[in-house]
Structures are given as C-alpha cells and as structure tokens.
Structure 1
Amino acid sequence: MKNKLVLILLFVLPIAIYLLFSTATHNSLFLPTISKANADIPSHWQGLNQEKISMKDKITVLGFVGTNVMENRGNFFNLNQKIYNKYKGFKDFQMVMVVPAGNEPKAQQIMDELAPITGEMTGWKFVFAAPEEIQTFYDSYKLVGKLDTNLGTPDVIIVDKEINHRGRKGKNKKGKEEYKESYNTISAADLHNEMTDDVKIILREYRLALKKNNNARKDAFRDNIKQNIERNK
C-alpha cells in the first residue's frame, strides 16, 4: 500500500506542478529583467526577532510599507491572499516588507492577524531601518515610482535569486509595447492577473533550470561510468 502511494505521488505531483505553471498567460517563457545585480537588504537591518534577512538565492516580493502600517493592512491581506498563499509552499519564495524602525509592534500585529488565515508564515518578512537608509535603498533600484512622505508605496516588485529586478518590458501578447516594473497591492485584479502570472513564470524558470542541471549531472555521471568501464577493459 505504501509503495502504491509513493508511485501515485510520483506520477501526480509533476502533473500538478506542470498544470500550475502552464496556466500562466504571459507571452514569454521568461520574465524580462528590468535591472541587474541590485542592492541586497543591508546586513545591519533587522527583522522581527532581530533576524538577518537577505534576498540572495530567494525569489522575493519586495515592498516598502512606510509608517502607515495599520492603515495599509488591506494591502497586506490582498498580497497574502492573491500571491503568498499560492506560492508559500516553495521554500525559495519570500515576501520582504521594508518598514521604518519603530514600527515593529505594528508589523507584529499584522503578522498575528494574517497567521490564523494563512498558517505557514515563515516566508513573510518585515525588515526595519532608518528612514534615510530606506530612501537610499529604494532609490538604488531606479524605479519610475516614488515613495510617499511616509516612505511607503502600495506597489511591490519582484526580485530574483541573483537580485535582478524582474517585470514586463517589450511587446505583450497583442504586440503592443509594455513596461511594468511593479504591482499595485491595492488592486486585487493587478495581483490576481498580472502578478500571479509573472510569479509563475519566474518560478518555472528556476524549475526548468534545475531540471536541466540535474539532467546534465546525470549525463556526466553516466559518461564517467562509461569511460571507467572502457578504461578497465
């Protein structure tokens, strides 16, 4: 019975993953790069419980909350329901929200409100820094959008494992030029449609790359065995 269950899982899981990724409607198999080799979260910035947070080797949804943490709780709910809940099972996926220092209790309250409806919260991160440092960090990405006077924006961006900013650039499915550097958390439609598709695409990129690397290692291992056999004849 146990062996049958393992065989069923081995058969069903790849199909389920394929169906998840194949539903993306973007016109490309790869998500365009807006900017490369951007700044990581500074090492002296601290998260809740003083943990260190990095975007290296993670697919990150990066946001800038500002001081109006509680006033923007609806944005967190939208992002949580439309994006995080769909991809929280991927260990290399995370959400990082940058907040001015001093707002730690408010951020913890948001976490406490989301936890009962979300369950697994390890991919949700809040990181805190001085206002001037947040502005400098945001400016380093050279975005068209700007932070408001509270150092916040409702827009979030996608950052890949090499800390490249990813988005939409070039012709869309209709052949029209488009540029999309961020996704509006106020708009459930923006998150549900465009951002959901784009996160699927970037996750698929890494899964395909991992599969290709695994196949290459298997081929190298097989060739090595063949060479050893031939050498020992």
Structure 2
Amino acid sequence: MKKKIVLVILFVFPLVAYMFFASGVNNFGKLPILTENVTELDVIDTDIRLQDKITILGFLGRDVANKKGNAFNLNQKIYKRFHEFADFQVVMLVLEEEKEAVTELKQELSNLAPIDNWQFVYTTKEGLQTVFNGLRTNLTLDGTYGVPEIFIIDKDRNLRGRDNDEDQKTGVKYGFDATSVADLNNKMEDDVKIILAEYRLALKKNNADRN
C-alpha cells in the first residue's frame, strides 16, 4: 500500500508543478502587453540587445553602491530561479562613472550565483533617459537617474505587466519594486513564470506543427 502511495505522489506532484508553472497565477492567462516596441538598446553604445531575449530591465543610474540591495533582491528572488532558461537576461543601465562600483557589485553577486546572464550597460544620462522614456510608463527617474522598479520585456520588445493590479489606482502595474521582497516574491515571480511558459508552449506547438 505504501509503495502505491509513493508512486502516486511521484507521478502527481511533477504534473501539478508543471501545470502551475505553465499557467502562472495571474488569471491563468497571458501577461498583458502594456507598451509595444520599446526602445532597442542600439540607441546607446552597446552590443546588448533586447530583441529575441526575455529581459529583466533595470535602471541603476548613479550611486550604485547604495542600490546594491535592489540588485541582491532581484538576484535572490528572480535571477537565481530563472537564469538557466534560454534567452533569459538581466540588463541594468548605469551611468559611465559607475564602473568601479559595478565591478564591486558583480563580484558580490558572483558569490551568490553565476552572473553570466547579468548585463551592465554603461551610458550617458541622455542615453539612459531615452531608453527609459521608450517604456512609456507612468514612472519617472529620480535625481540619480535610477528607479526602484524593474521591468519585464519580452522577445518582441514589448513591456509586459499587469492591467488589473489591486494595489494600483489605475490597475496598471508597469514594473516591480526591487526594494520590496514581497513585490518580487508575490507578483514578479509569477509573471516571469507566465512569460517563460508562453514561450515554452509556443516552442512545443511549433515543433508539433513541423512534425
């Protein structure tokens, strides 16, 4: 009898886990597109691109040393869970004078997990502002050219988020607060699952169609 129970658990648990991952919890549907065709990073001097990547995009700007907590939260709650998925990357825009602080931050992050898919892009104030404006959100950069929110960009350069979030006056949630472990844990993690599941299911469908 015990052996039968164990076999049932071994079969059912992975199935339930897969169904949860594939569906997510955001109404069990696709994550809404809030902004189409966000600005590509070729407007600044970098080889990093958003197109054809699932990107977590952030703006550290200046004063990186005092924003390490944001990066650590993102690393622990989102990056470590999903960094092994194909075409997944974290891209942080920082001002050019922050290279020393970024080197230190990368060293500290590397002690927690491989940082192969962390990308730090150096740019000017104007370049950073141009990319941020291309998201077309209701948020603004602060005096350090940073913002605590981080954003989900899909492979077609669409900004994904929520259009019925209970904590937003308008219902629209463009980004996720990297200073809040709860926001990353309770909302962003679910939404990243949905994005990854979308592409995984689309890939399976394409493979099935070819066969």
Deviation at 1:122, TM superposition (A): 1.0
Rounded Cα–Cα distance in structure 2 between residues aligned with 1:75 and 1:56: 25
Identity of aligned residues (%): 40
Rounded Cα–Cα distance in structure 1 between residues aligned with 2:130 and 2:81: 32
4+ residue runs of structure 1 moved beyond 3 angstroms? 14-17
Q: Please state whether the residue corresponding to 1:180 is helix, strand or coil.
A: coil
Q: Which runs of 5+ in 1 are unaligned?
A: 1-10, 47-51, 219-233
Deviation at 1:59, TM superposition (A): 0.4
Rounded Cα–Cα distance in structure 1 between residues aligned with 2:54 and 2:102: 22
Give the letter for the 2:53 counterpart. K
Is the 2:44–2:127 Cα contact (8 Å) retained in structure 1? no
Please give the TM-score of this superposition, normalised by the length of structure 1: 0.79
* Number of residue pairs matched by the alignment: 198
Rounded Cα–Cα distance in structure 2 between residues aligned with 1:22 and 1:206: 10
Per-residue CA deviations over 1:156-178 (Å, capped at 9, x if unaligned) read: 11000000000001477xxx972
Is the 1:134–1:151 Cα contact (8 Å) retained in structure 2? yes
Deviation at 1:68, TM superposition (A): 1.2
| Residues 1:136 and 2:127 are matched in the alignment | no
Alignment of 1:22-171 (within 5 A): 22=22, 24-42=24-42, 44-46=44-46, 52-118=47-113, 120-170=114-164
Per-residue CA deviations over 1:56-82 (Å, capped at 9, x if unaligned) read: 111000000011101010111100000
Rounded Cα–Cα distance in structure 1 between residues aligned with 2:53 and 2:140: 25
Larger CA Rg, structure 1 vs 2: 1
CA-based RMSD? 2.2
| Residues 1:206 and 2:202 are matched in the alignment | no
Per-residue CA deviations over 1:22-46 (Å, capped at 9, x if unaligned) read: 5732113200000111111126523
Please give the TM-score of this superposition, normalised by the length of structure 2: 0.87
Rounded Cα–Cα distance in structure 2 between residues aligned with 1:177 and 1:208: 31
